[in-house]
Structure 1
């Protein structure tokens, strides 16, 4: 008998590349899909002084799940970074250490957001750049802003793209603006 999910490709373990927020989002999703996320959030509860056999079994099961969650974390983090994490006893310990080291303070996040806002404001299409590349550059900045907590309305993105394209696209921009309500257009 073939297993129902046999054709489902296993997701790749996301590698930490220095961009904590992106890695954390992907890693959290992976750990949730494997039903290990509660271990990262809550850790392994300690056993009471005289545990019942049921409590011992639940505790042992959670320890095994924690080992599996740690295995995913170990796969995703380079050895050089893992060596800087002092406490690797549980998945929660590893996660908390990564968050503390790489998430950044509120001031840093605010500064990064200010830089991204500025990049968005001065962004313009380069001569000879393809429309797809320009869209990709624009959406990359917008995605980074959203990761930092900024809400960017789609109509603002559309308006930015239309007003910052090179002159050779003026006729296309005029045509789009005359035939459509720009406030309801999507980037797609």
Structure 2
């Protein structure tokens, strides 16, 4: 069986955290590793699966963000550190996203596809 990395954009920061977390959860579920995020491993077999889940998460994080997760000992700890660092519920963030959504103009984008992608992506971040 060949090892492969999914085509998920690496976590770069707050701007792509929600999409990244959604895709990573689906990937870990596909690999039967999501339980490592939900539970704390306590058997040798669970520790083996946890190490796999942790390494898959780390491989999908931009190297600039390693500073946030180097102390994480389990997949759950790494996941939680990323969530605490990048998931944003603040009012300033919502206002900024609303502003971006309102001020995005087709003239400022290189194509209709970029415009639609920007508007839909910003709307999804605002909704999340």
Q: Which category of TM-score, normalised to the shorter sequence, fits these structures?
A: 0.7 to 0.9
Match among 110, 117, 120 for residue 139 of structure 1? 117
Which deviates more from structure 2 when the two are superposed, residues 14-23 or residues 33-42? 14-23
Which residue is 2:88 aligned to? 104
Contact 1:66 1:91 in 2 (8 A): yes
- Distance in 2 (CA, whole Å) between partners of 1:101 and 1:10 is 24
TM-superposition CA deviations, 1:162-183 (whole Å, max 9, x none) = xxxxxxxxxxxxxxxxxxxxxx
Q: TM-score, normalised by structure 2?
A: 0.77
Q: TM-score, normalised by structure 1?
A: 0.55
1:10 shift after superposition: 5.9
- Distance in 1 (CA, whole Å) between partners of 2:5 and 2:58 is 17
Of the two structures, which has the highest relative contact order with CA contacts closer than 8 Å and spacing of 6 or more? 2
Which residue is 1:81 aligned to? 65
Give matches, 1:17-166, under 5 Å.
17-18=12-13, 19-44=16-41, 46=42, 59-85=43-69, 87-120=71-104, 123=105, 125-126=106-107, 133-149=111-127
Cα 1:78–1:139 change in 2 (3 A) is: closer
- Distance in 2 (CA, whole Å) between partners of 1:116 and 1:83 is 29
Provide the aligned C-alpha RMSD in A.
Answer: 2.9
Q: How many residue pairs are counted as aligned between the two chains? A: 125
Larger radius of gyration: 1
- Distance in 1 (CA, whole Å) between partners of 2:53 and 2:97 is 32
Q: Which runs of 5+ in 1 are unaligned?
A: 47-58, 151-188
Contact 2:33 2:53 in 1 (8 A): yes
SS of 2:68 mapped into structure 1: coil
Contact 1:15 1:77 in 2 (8 A): yes
